[in-house]
Structure 1
Amino acid sequence: MPASPRRATLATVAASAGVSVATVSKVLNGRSDVAPATRSLVESLLRQHDYVAPSPRRGESAGTDTVEVQFDSYINAYSTELIQGLVNTGVELGVGVVVSLKREAARPGSWARELAAAGRRALIAVTSELTSGQLTALARARVPLVVIDPLNLPRARVTSVGSTNFAGGLAATQHLLGLGHRRIAYIGGPPSAACNQARLHGYRAALEAEGVSVPPCYTHFGHFRYQDGLEYGAAVLDLPEPPTAIFVGCDETALGVMEAARARGLRIPEDLSIVGFDDTQIARMVSPPLTTVRQPLREMGSVALRTALRLAAGEPIDSHHVELATELIVRGSTAEVTCSRQV
C-alpha cells in the first residue's frame, strides 16, 4: 500500500474549526451541550480531515483482535471454503474473523473510518473491484489491505493472494483435448477480472497449441453464478454446431451448464463433457461428480490472514502477490468424445 499520510488529530480539527479540543471531543461523544451550528461545522471538518479515533492499544482491551473479511455480494460455495480457511487460521492465531458484505453506497472515507473505529487490524477483500479512493481512505485510516482473487489492481503494490489460474485453464483444456474433444467452449466470469482473464488465456493457449480455432460464439462471460451457466450453457448448446465439451470458470456456473444440458436431453459425460474450477463441496456432491480445477481456497484464506496480520504489525512481506498451485481433479463429468459427436 502507499505510504500512509499523517493521521488527523483532535487538535487538527479543533484548529480548523476555531474551537477547543474539548468541544470537538464533545461532538465525537454525542454530547448535547454544543450549539447546532458548531456541531455541524465540527462534523463536516471531521469528515473532511478523514479523522479516525485512535484504536485501543493491544493489551488495553480484553477483546480479541479482529480482521474483517468483505465479500462483494453474496456467500456461495467458493466463499465458504475461503471462510473455513480464514476461521481455522484465526482460531490458531487467536484472531477473530468478521465476515461482511460490501456496501455499494458507502463513501470511501466513512467506510474506512468505520473499519478503523471498530478496531479492525486489517481488511481482507474477496474478488472486489477497488478504486484509488478506497485505497487512499484505507491508507489514511491505517487499515492494511489484502485482496483475494482481485477483479482489478488499481495500484501495482496492492497485496493480493490468488492461484495459478493460467495453469489451471491450460490443464482443464488439455484434459479435454486429450479425450479427443475439439469443439470446446468456455463460460467464465467478468471479462475484466484478472482470474477470468488468466483462465481464458490458459484455455486459448491449449487450443492454439493443438491448432484448434475458437469460434466467437464459444466464449461467454458472466458473474461466476449458477444462472450464468443456465443462460450461456443454453446459448452454446443451441448452436447449429454445439460444443462437445465446456470448460467453465467456476463450479457453481458449471452446475448451471449441467442443468442446461439435462433440459436438452443431453447426458453427462456421454453427450457432453464439463470441467469446472474451484473444487468446492458442490463439485463432489453433484451427479455425476464434477471434474474440476482445484483452487486451494482454504490455504488461500490462511495465507491472506497471515499476510494481513504481518502488514498490521509493520512486518515485511515476501511478495505483494502470492499464487498457490492449482490441480486438475478428474471425476465423472468428462469422457472421451464419441465419433458421432465429433461430426
Structure 2
Amino acid sequence: MGQRMTIAKIAEQAGVSVPTVSKVLNGRADVAADTRAKVEGIIQEHGYQRRTATTASSPMIDLVFPELSGEWAIQLIRGVEGVLRAAGVELVLSECGDARRPRQDWIESVLNRRPLGVIMVFSDLDPDQRAQLEARRIPFVVVDPIGDEGDDVPSIGSANWNGGRMATLHLRKLGHTRIGMIGGPVETLCSRMRVDGYQDALRSTGIAVDPELIRAGDFSVSGGHREALALLRLPERPTAIFAGSDMQALGVYQAARELGLKIPRDLSVVGYDDLPVAQWVGPTLTTVHQPLHQMAELAARLVLDLARGVTPAALRMDLAVEMRIRQSTAPPVG
C-alpha cells in the first residue's frame, strides 16, 4: 500500500495551498466551487481522514430539523435522546433552516464538530453535502424523508399510504361520501403518500375523487385553518375532513368554530400523528398514530451502528401505523 494521504499531498495533487485544503475539510464557504470540487474529489478518492486527537469524531450525534418547534419535534428528540444517553453519546440539536435542503453554514458547523453521525429529520442533502459527509466518514440517517432518497440512503419512515387509506376508510364506514383532504407540502413524500392512500380508499369504495376537495397545506395550524375555511365555504361543503397532521386538524377545529359548525355533529375530523394534543382538545381527535418515538429510536440505533462500522440488515424501514378512534368522528347527519 502507498503512504497515507496527507493535507499537503492533497494540496499538491489539487494544485492549491494547504490552507485551501483545510478550508474545504472544514466546510468553509470561502472557496471557489471548482476548487472545492477538485479537492473533494481527491479526498473521496483517497478516503482521507484526520487522525489527530483534536479532530477525531466526537462522541455526539447531530439531530437536525428544518425548524425546531412543536410537539412533533419533541417526540423525536425524546426518542433519539434516550438511545444516545444509554450509549454515552451526546445529542446536538440544530436547525437547517430550509424545508428541503440544509444551508451551507449548517454543513460547515457539522464538519467543524465532526460528530459520530447525523440524523436528518424531514430534509435531505444535496449531492455536494452528501459527498462532504461521506468523505469524512460521517454517516447520516434520514427520518421521514421528503423524497425518494434511494436504496443506498439509510432512512426511517412510516406507512404513510396505509395511514391515509385507513383514515379515509374509517370515514367511509361511518357513511361519509364527501370527504375533504388537507395534505402537506406537495413536494414531500409522506404528504403525497397520504393523499394517494386517501384517493385509493375513495375509489375502492365507489367514490370518485374530486380534486376540489384536495388541498395542499404545510402541516401547521394556520395552514389547516386556511385550507379548511376554503373547503367549508364550498357550495357543497364536505361532511368530513382528513387533515395530514394533528396540527392541521387543530386549524380545522378553529375554522369549524368560526363557521358555527359543531364537531362531530356537522363535521367529522381525522388528524395524523397522534400527538398528545389529540387527547387534550375537545372533542378528542380521531387520528392516525404514527410511531414517532419508535422511529426516532430506530434512527438513533441505526446511525450509531453505521458509525461503528456495523452493516445493518436493512437501510430503509417503514413502520406500521394505527387508527386511534376518538370523539371527533361520527356518521353524517341526514
Superposed CA RMSD: 3.0
State whether residues 310 and 317 of structure 1, in contact with CA within 8 Å, keep that contact through their aligned partners in structure 2: yes
Q: Which is higher, the Rg of structure 1 or of structure 2?
A: 1
- The Cα of 1:47 is off from its aligned counterpart by 8.4
Shift in CA distance, 202/128, structure 1 to aligned 2, threshold 3 Å: same
Shift in CA distance, 10/113, structure 1 to aligned 2, threshold 3 Å: farther
Match of residue 15, structure 1, among 12, 15, 21: 12
> Deviation string for 1:224-267 (max 9, x for gaps)?
11111111000000000000001111001110011011100000
State whether residues 226 and 252 of structure 1, in contact with CA within 8 Å, keep that contact through their aligned partners in structure 2: yes
Counterpart of 1:320? 315
Counterpart of 1:294? 289
> Deviation string for 1:22-43 (max 9, x for gaps)?
x889999xxxxxxxxxxx999x
- The Cα of 1:273 is off from its aligned counterpart by 0.4
Say yes or no: does 1:69 pair with 2:66: no
* In 2: Cα distance, 1:237 partner to 1:130 partner: 38
Shift in CA distance, 57/47, structure 1 to aligned 2, threshold 3 Å: farther
Counterpart of 1:282? 277
* In 2: Cα distance, 1:178 partner to 1:284 partner: 23
State whether residues 96 and 106 of structure 2, in contact with CA within 8 Å, keep that contact through their aligned partners in structure 1: no
Match of residue 49, structure 1, among 33, 39, 42: 39
- The Cα of 1:175 is off from its aligned counterpart by 0.7
State whether residues 85 and 299 of structure 1, in contact with CA within 8 Å, keep that contact through their aligned partners in structure 2: yes
State whether residues 55 and 117 of structure 1, in contact with CA within 8 Å, keep that contact through their aligned partners in structure 2: no
Letter in 1 for 2:59: D
* In 1: Cα distance, 2:227 partner to 2:170 partner: 22
State whether residues 245 and 273 of structure 2, in contact with CA within 8 Å, keep that contact through their aligned partners in structure 1: yes
Match of residue 150, structure 1, among 124, 145, 154: 145
Say yes or no: does 1:253 pair with 2:283: no
Q: Which runs of 5+ in 2 are unaligned?
A: 25-29
TM-score when normalising by structure 2: 0.85
Task: Count residues in correspondence.
Answer: 317
Say yes or no: does 1:311 pair with 2:301: no
Say yes or no: does 1:173 pair with 2:168: yes
Q: Which runs of 5+ in 1 are unaligned?
A: 1-6, 29-39
Counterpart of 1:3? none
Letter in 2 for 1:268: I
* In 1: Cα distance, 2:15 partner to 2:197 partner: 61
Match of residue 194, structure 1, among 177, 182, 189: 189
* In 1: Cα distance, 2:103 partner to 2:272 partner: 34
* In 2: Cα distance, 1:294 partner to 1:111 partner: 32
Match of residue 227, structure 1, among 222, 238, 245: 222
Structure 1 stretches of 4+ with a deviation exceeding 6 A read: 17-21, 23-28, 44-47
- The Cα of 1:106 is off from its aligned counterpart by 6.6
* In 2: Cα distance, 1:41 partner to 1:254 partner: 46
Written as runs of structure 1 = structure 2, the 5 A alignment for 1:88-127 is 88-104=82-98, 108=104, 111-127=106-122
State whether residues 14 and 39 of structure 2, in contact with CA within 8 Å, keep that contact through their aligned partners in structure 1: no
State whether residues 228 and 253 of structure 1, in contact with CA within 8 Å, keep that contact through their aligned partners in structure 2: yes
State whether residues 68 and 100 of structure 1, in contact with CA within 8 Å, keep that contact through their aligned partners in structure 2: yes
SS in 1 for 2:288: strand
